[in-house]
A and B are shown apart, each in its own frame.
Chain A
């Protein structure tokens, strides 16, 4: 409240609201223009491809929902969509579960060193994504750490392999969770770090043990961070195709790979665009739902 008052005091006395608004629009012009040109226009173009208003080869204009019908009729492709949804849900849930204790320890236990430790946790982001993913070959690969270790202790024979360990959906799950954990710790850390420590003492004082305090105070208050974290992972993961390509092997083929395949290998841009638009639509709906939930939480506080 005091901040608002101060802002108003320091504002020029005759600053009309209109002028301030014009200033704001000026500031927003560049990012808005950028987004319109490089995000909105391409999305609209993809949408146009999916209904035949644009085509790869010169062609008379026509409107057709055939690509959409093809998609919904293809059990394989709808199945791949659900496979990707499952991947996203599991990876998001696992990342959040693994990231929560890290965020908790940083925010509530680490004390003064928490920001340094946060930087350490974010350090992997200094290396390229590709390197971080491929590094898993050293651990999970055919001659990797795990296989070698299991051979050495005799669990596996000298030529033994575990087929599901690498170039498999399992590898995709593991690598994606690994990639996302540090990133997901951030929003959870922010909500926990912003929490009034007196609340924990108040709960303790009123008769709660540490565990009850966690369940009744800390956890409910960190829900916005958890939801944000979940969404942060879910949305990029559902369309993921690079990681399956790198570590997924023959069975690590997901919806993103199907879209990529349709467009780059099959040259069926209409069909690929329909699948892409279906994905964009799903994500948008989820964003609106989650976003509303997040806002409600924020208002309540």
Chain B
């Protein structure tokens, strides 16, 4: 069992939680550093919300330890934990105006009136809601309510802010805008954020680190780049939206790489640092790393496979090619939408290539 880092804002040590027969959280160990933006990413029912509710104190773990700034908080009620939460539907008090909502936590903590007023004003400035003090939540838009919810939590200067799918109720455009706002606020206040979402794009664009959860366990913990480019398991690859995943069997393993031969000189080369390729594995490669060549173009790259263009999807800056390979395999490649891309049509023969290090082998 790992030893929690004493400097971590939040430490979870082998935390378990069952609801009846369901193992909602099944042995989660995780350190969240001070000032870090950590995202718990996963499909519904993966245990991410339960994990967060255990940190907040709304659920108690069946086993394991939860530490906030080094103090074990298991058994401590939510009102005595140094973390605050942002609810999915904001949960603003409808009978109080913006100012009273934000001041709620400070009043309970008996912060003197002058200081309270100053801190509320400061926080409303941070979330850019100056002048809205006397409005009722019902008179605010969704985005504004979101900001009030943030201010109400952050004004208490919590050891960490827990956010439960906070942007889920907003429309797409506002969501993008609030993502940037959240990052800015987090940066400005240097507060530790634990963010729960099922939206991989949101997770990738905002987080310092992502914990991808599935069936109550963390399948991978890493930076967005690590998770996206080097998914640790097929589930992670699938969930973070890796489009290309091909079953891999090593025909040859040599220094640091494995080769799968597909006939006709076609081959897929992938790094294999430990030189051990056994059991079921898949190889992943991101669409934008795949070069699309017409048969008359010279092919460069360690991996090369030939195929027939199926669908061509115009995405704006990029054009997406669905290429059918021999043996029913299929790869998706993105290419800048230039004239050359426009000349490649459905039914054309093409050759795909990529560099060895752009591919990754994922084992079950």
* B1 interfacial contact with A, CB 8 Å: no
In the complex, A60 has a CB within 8 A of chain B = no
- Among candidates A208, A221, A300, residue contacting B79 with C-beta atoms closer than 8 Å: A208
Taken together as a complex, chains A and B put the C-alpha atoms of A126 and B241 apart, in Å, by 60
B85 close to A205 (CB less than 8 A): yes
**For the complex, is A212 an interface residue (Cβ under 8 Å from B)?**
yes
- The verdict on B235 contacting chain A, using a C-beta distance below 8 Å, is no
In the complex, chain B residues 126-157 whose Cβ is within 8 Å of any chain A Cβ: 136, 138, 152-153, 156
CB neighbours (8 Å) of B314 from chain A are: none
Question: Taking the nearest CB of chain A, how far is it from the CB of B81, in angstroms?
Answer: 8
- Let me know if B108 and A208 touch, CB within 8 A: yes
**Pairwise interchain contact A201-B87, C-beta atoms closer than 8 A:** yes
B361 nearest CB across to chain A (Å):
44
CB neighbours (8 Å) of B58 from chain A are: 201, 204-205
> Is A159 an interface position by the 8 A CB rule?
no
* Chain A residue nearest in CB terms to B85: A205
- Chain A residues whose C-beta falls within 8 Å of the C-beta of B77 in the assembled complex: 204
**Of A201, A212, A217, which is in contact with the most chain B CB atoms at under 10 Å from its CB?**
A201
Bitwise interface map of B from 75 to 96 toward A, beta carbon under 8 Å scored 1, else 0: 0011110001101110111110
Residues in B neighbouring A208, C-beta threshold 8 A: 79, 104, 108
Chain A CB count within 10 A is highest, among B56, B78, B84, B153, for B78
The contact of A207 among B56, B87, B94, B109, by CB within 8 Å, is: B109
Confirm or deny: A198 has a beta carbon within 8 angstroms of a beta carbon on chain B. Answer: yes
Flag B52-79 by CB within 8 Å of A: 1 or 0 each: 0000111000000000000000000111
* A199 and B93 contacting across the interface, CB-CB below 8 Å: yes
Instruction: Let me know if B234 is at the binding interface, CB within 8 A.
Output: no
Q: Is the CB of A198 within 8 A of B89?
A: yes
Closest to A209 in B: B79
A206 touching B105 in the complex, CB below 8 Å, given contacts A199-B93, A220-B95, A221-B95: yes
How long is the Cα–Cα vector from A201 to B90 in the complex, in angstroms? Answer: 11
CA A209 to CA B84, docked complex, whole Å: 15
Residues of A within 8 A of B87 (CB): 198, 201-202
Interface class of chain A by DSSP = helix
List, in ascending order, chain A residues with CB within 8 A of B105's CB.
206-207
Partner of B156, one of A202, A207, A216: A207
Shortest CB–CB separation between residue B83 and chain A, in angstroms?
8
How many angstroms between the C-alpha atoms of A212 and B77 in the bound complex?
A: 14
Known: A206-B104, A208-B79, A300-B136. A201 touches B95 (CB 8 A): no
B249 CB, nearest partner CB in chain A, Å: 51
A199 and B91 within 8 A (CB): yes
The reply to whether A196 and B152 form a contact with Cβ atoms under 8 Å apart is: no
Residue A203 at the chain B interface, CB threshold 8 Å: yes
- A75 is an interface residue with CB less than 8 A from chain B: no
> Smallest CB-CB separation from B155: which chain A residue?
A206
Is A301 in the interface zone, CB < 8 Å from B? yes
Separation of A207 and B93 alpha carbons in the complex (Å): 14
Complex formed: what's the CA distance from A301 to B104 in Å?
18
Contacts of B152 on A, CB cut-off 8 Å? 206
Contacting residues, chain B, for A199 (C-beta < 8 A): 91, 93-94
The docked-state distance in angstroms from the alpha carbon of A204 to that of B92 is 13
Instruction: Point out the residues of chain A lying under 8 angstroms from B85, CB to CB.
Output: 201-202, 205
When distances are taken between beta carbons in the complex, the residues of chain B under 8 Å from A203 are 93, 104
- Chain A 209-237, CB-CB to B under 8 Å as 1, else 0, gives 10010001100110000000000000000
A297, closest chain B residue (CB): B95
Q: A109 to nearest B CB, angstroms?
A: 17
Q: Which residues from chain B contact A301 at a C-beta distance below 8 Å?
A: 94-95, 138
CA distance A199 to B57 in the complex (A): 15
Kindly list chain B residues whose C-beta atoms are within 8 Å of the C-beta of A220: 95
Q: How far is it, in angstroms, between the C-alpha of A206 and the C-alpha of B91 when the chains are bound?
A: 12
- CB pair B84–A206 under 8 Å, yes or no, is yes
Q: Please give the distance in Å from A207's CB to the nearest CB on chain B.
A: 4
B94 / chain A contacts, CB cutoff of 8 Å: 199, 221, 300-301
Chain A positions within 8 Å of B56 at CB level: 205
Residues of A contacting B95 in the complex (Cβ-Cβ under 8 angstroms) = 220-221, 300-301
Cross-chain contact A206 with B138 (CB below 8 angstroms): no
A206 adjacent to B108 (CB under 8 Å):
yes
Most chain B beta-carbon contacts within 10 A, residue among A199, A209, A212: A199
Please determine whether A300 and B109 come into contact, CB atoms closer than 8 angstroms. no
Cα–Cα, bound, A202→B57 (Å): 12
Q: Which chain A residue shows the least CB distance to B89?
A: A198
Q: How far is the CA of A196 from the CA of B149 in the complex (A)?
A: 15
In the complex the two chains form, what is the Cα distance from A216 to B101 in whole Å?
A: 11
Bound CA–CA A228/B138 (angstroms): 22
Residues of A within 8 A of B104 (CB): 203, 206, 208, 216
B58 to chain A, nearest CB (A): 6
Q: How far is the CA of A207 from the CA of B56 in the complex (A)?
A: 11
Please give me the 8 A-B residue pairs with the lowest Cβ-Cβ distance, nearest first: A198-B91, A202-B91, A206-B105, A207-B108, A204-B78, A198-B87, A301-B94, A207-B79
Q: List 17 A-B contacts (CB under 8 A).
A: A198-B91, A201-B87, A202-B92, A202-B93, A203-B104, A204-B77, A204-B78, A205-B79, A206-B104, A206-B105, A207-B79, A207-B105, A208-B108, A209-B79, A220-B95, A300-B94, A301-B94
Since A201-B87, A202-B93, A300-B138 are in contact, a sample of 4 more A-B pairs with Cβ atoms closer than 8 Å, ordered by chain A residue number, is A198-B89, A203-B104, A207-B109, A216-B104
